[in-house]
Amino acid sequence: MSSSDPKDRSYYPHFRAVPTRWMDNDVYGHVNNVVYYSYFDTAVNGHLMEYGVLDYAAGDIFGIVVETKCQFLKELAFPEVIEAGLRIAKLGNSSVTYEIGLFRKDQPDAAAVGHFIHVYVDRENRRPVRIPDPVRAVMASLVVSGVS
């Protein structure tokens, strides 16, 4: 059963590994706040590409980011491999809201929690379009339904 707390691992139906890099660490010896969003970005787009529903070079439509947020709860540091939990909180007509939790290996509580909102647009005119069905099918596996 899924947790209702984004800080718990069981809140997320899917996880992706995101290794840190040497230069992620800043002057304070931990991963710089900006870089967490790169983990978000990589987890979401990596998922879509793995399931074949994001072709950034040739696709006619794609998601542009309209809002992101992150709460930093614990420090991360290279050379850790981060486990990024993914869940979709809201799947609308043209927009999708991902919730993301970043976890240190073997730790039950998230080091960071946040969200990431994509709006799908037409490549040419950058106007919102309906998220296509094949993309929705992939997204559906990240939606937690019922009482959570």
For residue 65, how many other CB atoms are within 10 A of its CB? 13
Q: How far is the CB of 75 from its own copies (least distance, A)?
A: 8
- Residues at the site binding its own copies, with contacts judged by CB under 8 A: 17-19, 21-23, 25-29, 32-35, 37-38, 41-42, 45-46, 49-50, 56-57, 62, 64-72, 78-79
Q: How far is the CB of 114 from its own copies (least distance, A)?
A: 9
**Closest to its own copies by CB, 28 or 147:** 28
**Closest to its own copies by CB, 8 or 80:** 80
